[in-house]
Amino acid sequence: MAVHFVKMGVLPYGPAPSDEVSALKLIEICGRTAYKSEDKITDTSAKSFVLMLKSHGHLSVLEHSNIVLKVEPVPGADPAGENRPLSYEWVLESLKDRLGFHRIFPLGPGGASGCILAGNIRAWLETLRYLRACEPAGFRFFAAQFHRFFPNLFEPAPESGDPLPHAASLMTEQDQLGLLKRDPALDLPVFVFRFVCDRGITHEVVRHRVLSFTQESTRYVNYKNKGMVLIVPEEVAGFHDEKAGALTGDDPLAQMWRDRAERLFDWYREDLARGLRPETARDILPNLLKSEIFVSGRFSGWKHFVLLRDSSHAHPRIRFLAREVRKYFEQMGLPIAENG
């Protein structure tokens, strides 16, 4: 069968993992969704795949991640002396052009006990580049920490200079979640979801700029052999046979949708047959085309998404996604009130 019909779906992946091995695996799953090459995933494929993305500058996929560091002064070190460069104020001042990509919280009054810094891998890679140019001491410190915790993705720090008298530890996703539940301002974890929806709805989802996205590509995916997959239109949901992935029965409406879909797919295949590339042949594919998209973000971003999209003003299909996201957070003990 050339055309399939499937239901929408929401798959929560939970908080982004805090260890490198799991982080690489998750990024690989997200990245391979774009090319539909999930069949190439093996036990050892993640590292080379993610390093390939990094070397090609395809860094947006590395946003489906989170590194949270707790930085504290070493006991006994002089806070007015060597400690100063890494005080909470120093961090705010030094990262000033990069603050929008991070969450930074003071520990103790005025940050006297250090701070917690969060960012996804892309943000940290680019922040390190920024620090290298303007804050060599801070760069050395952070580069050393990131290389310690994520040795495959972050290069070793330069040897020169005295180490700064601070200790950094990696905060686990469970610890991040515990802090967020205690205080919603401590917006530390990054939550990752996979949506299966139609192309029209992914276009609405990607308008939420504070979230991160990796989406199935109609440029690189050739549907000729796999068949074209559409989301079931609501008006014929009653005729959907989920197991067969088809609209069944003699109802004229179901027949109409089957005919339309087959005709469109015939045109797509004809265009490929006359030598067009998938990126051009896709012009005829409908808005209803099934698309998989990974979406990641912190609780504040998701809360905004739910408040705007779980609404009677929103399209019913994005509303479905927003309701599933709302349910997930409710189950996590993070309810989103109707009025925000």
Ligand X SMILES: Cc1cc2nc3c(=O)[nH]c(=O)nc-3n(C[C@H](O)[C@H](O)[C@H](O)COP(=O)(O)OP(=O)(O)OC[C@H]3O[C@@H](n4cnc5c(N)ncnc54)[C@H](O)[C@@H]3O)c2cc1C
Among all residues, which ones are annotated catalytic?
309
Residue 323 binds ligand X (CB under 6 A): no
- Minimum distance from CB of 192 to ligand X (Å)? 16
Nearest to 291 by CA among 222, 213, 209, 195: 195
Residue 4 binds ligand X (CB under 6 A): no
> Both tokens of residue 62?
């590395």
Nearer to ligand X, 64 or 309 (CB): 309
- Minimum distance from CB of 171 to ligand X (Å)? 25
Phi/psi region, residue 36 (left: phi>0; alpha: psi -120 to 50; beta: rest), is: left
Nearer to ligand X, 228 or 295 (CB): 295
Nearer to ligand X, 253 or 308 (CB): 308
Beta bridge partners of 167: 72
Residue 304 binds ligand X (CB under 6 A): yes
Residue 308 binds ligand X (CB under 6 A): yes
- Minimum distance from CB of 62 to ligand X (Å)? 19
Task: Give the list of residues 6+ apart from residue 85 with CB closer than 8 angstroms, or none.
Answer: 135, 137, 138, 164
Residue 316 binds ligand X (CB under 6 A): no
Which residue from 210, 244, 256, 273 is in contact with ligand X, where contact means CB under 6 A?
A: 210
Distances (CA, A) of 213 to 29, 156, 337: 13, 29, 25
Tokens 């120093």 identify what position? 90
| 3-class DSSP assignment, residue 12 | strand
Q: Which residues bind ligand X (CB under 6 A)?
A: 207-210, 301, 304, 308-309, 313-314
